[in-house]
Structure 1
Amino acid sequence: MAPTGKKAAPAKGRGSAAGRTRPSLSPRLIVEACLELLDAEGADALTFRRIGARLGADPTAVYRHFRNKDDLLLAVADHLLEESLEGFEPAADWRETLRTLFVRNRTVYLSHPRAAVLATVRITRRPAEMRVIEMVLAALSDAGFPPEEAVRHYRALVDFMLSWSCMEATYLALDPGTRHDDESAWSGAYAAVPAGTHPHIAAAAPYLASVEDDANFHFALALMLDAIAARAPTAARAPEADG
């Protein structure tokens, strides 16, 4: 598990071969080393032997903090959520709380795409994830939803953000040549589709290549929040006009 405390201070009396002190192992240091390995080399590099080597420690030392590789992966997933929550405070408006939170989540996932591909499909059962769930449910409660309805809207929103982030992270993990070929298809293959067989694609072709991923996410998130606001009980209880 990735705690929210400060990084461990160097252990007294423990030195490397060069005579320099090394920080004692802690769950956070292990998780950070794991994340560095994922960023650099992907999931295949995630072994206790490689993690121990990166930290200058015996691999068995990692087992003192994590039962197995899956336990470590869940800690990494929670660490990403923790990173997205740094400095975040809910806004007075429930919509702004949800918008900012999900934008932060996505930003962190895309900064670690190889880790995000693994993390976005897991339920960590750890502190940062519980904070996110509590914040989302609190925002939906502020919108007027009772617990049962809040949970349904929570799942729709969070699954949207996780699925979108996983899709983008998977794409970012592709090699640059493959990404370039896919991106150029909008201004190439689709722009050349004949109007006789695909009239709607032909009419939309000038605009297909102009949609940017970042703007598209914000647009889709706004659609979700608009739909929830329209269904919110507080909107239904708005005072009626006199007359």
Structure 2
Amino acid sequence: MRYRREDVVARALEVLDDYGLADLTMRRLGTELGVRPSALYHHFANKQSLLAAVADEILLRGRHEPSGTWDVRVTSICTDLRDSLLAYRDGAEVVATVWAFGLGATQPHDDLVKALADGGLGDLAPTAARTLLHFVYGHAVDEQTHLQAAAAGAIEDDVRDTDDFVTGLGLIAAGISMAKAVREASADR
């Protein structure tokens, strides 16, 4: 059977969710699809390009068009991103790694820069967007690691405070608001 690129990505996402990132290999994916691993290279030059496509699919499946003021949009983008990362086993690690390597997963950054620029942050928008992404990715990786360790019996599962993410995001948004206010006050002088 001949598979389309989308079919390969969908199956890779299933393998990721069922077995984790360490077991998402071209060999395993080929076996899952009933093809030789070399057949996958017709669609992807290497495993990194496959992971980039998987990361983009994770983000696409959880994406919503935010509306409202810049701070409401930023909160919505970050919350949707976190939910997308946690929806798949090792999803946070895959997306964060693809982003860090510059291989893809750019949509959240682009959406955040637009919301922040629309809010009047000017040339600070890209830095503020990266700061928000570092928080979301770090928080999600921490959460996912904790959940997986508890599920494996490696640690006792103490339920974490779910408001921690919202509170941390609020602190960062408050800092961005303050930087914006200082910038506006300086411009008025």
Under a length normalisation based on structure 2, what TM-score does the superposition of the two structures give?
0.85
Q: In the alignment, is residue 165 of structure 1 matched against residue 140 of structure 2?
A: yes
* Superposition deviation, residue 60 in structure 1: 2.1
Unpaired segments ≥5 residues, structure 2: none
Question: Residue in 1 aligned with 2:29?
Answer: 51
Distance in 1 between residues matched to 2:173 and 2:137, nearest whole Å: 16
> What is the count of residue pairs matched by the alignment?
183
The one-letter code of the counterpart of 1:89 is: E
* Superposition deviation, residue 235 in structure 1: 8.4
Under a length normalisation based on structure 1, what TM-score does the superposition of the two structures give?
0.67
Q: Contact conserved, 2:120 with 2:180, CA < 8 A, in 1? A: yes
| Secondary structure, aligned partner of 1:25 | coil
| Secondary structure, aligned partner of 2:44 | coil
Q: Contact conserved, 2:113 with 2:125, CA < 8 A, in 1? A: yes
Question: Residue in 1 aligned with 2:111?
Answer: 135
Matches within 5 A, 1:1-243: 24-85=2-63, 88-123=64-99, 124-126=102-104, 129-147=105-123, 149-176=124-151, 177-179=153-155, 181=156, 183=158, 212=161, 214-233=162-181, 236=184
Query: Which runs of 4 or more aligned residues in structure 1 lie more than 3 Å from their structure 2 counterparts after TM superposition?
Result: 233-237
| Secondary structure, aligned partner of 2:98 | coil
Q: Contact conserved, 2:150 with 2:157, CA < 8 A, in 1? A: no
- In our comparison, the structure showing a higher alpha carbon Rg is 1
What percentage of aligned pairs have identical amino acids? 27
Q: Contact conserved, 2:51 with 2:98, CA < 8 A, in 1? A: no
RMSD, aligned CA = 2.3
Unpaired segments ≥5 residues, structure 1: 1-13, 15-23, 184-208, 238-243
| Secondary structure, aligned partner of 1:169 | helix
* Superposition deviation, residue 99 in structure 1: 0.5
* Superposition deviation, residue 133 in structure 1: 2.2
Q: Which structure exhibits the higher relative contact order, with contacts defined as CA atoms closer than 8 Å and separated by 6 or more residues?
A: 2
Q: Contact conserved, 1:136 with 1:154, CA < 8 A, in 2? A: yes
Name the structure with the higher helix share: 2
* Superposition deviation, residue 182 in structure 1: 5.3
The one-letter code of the counterpart of 1:170 is: T
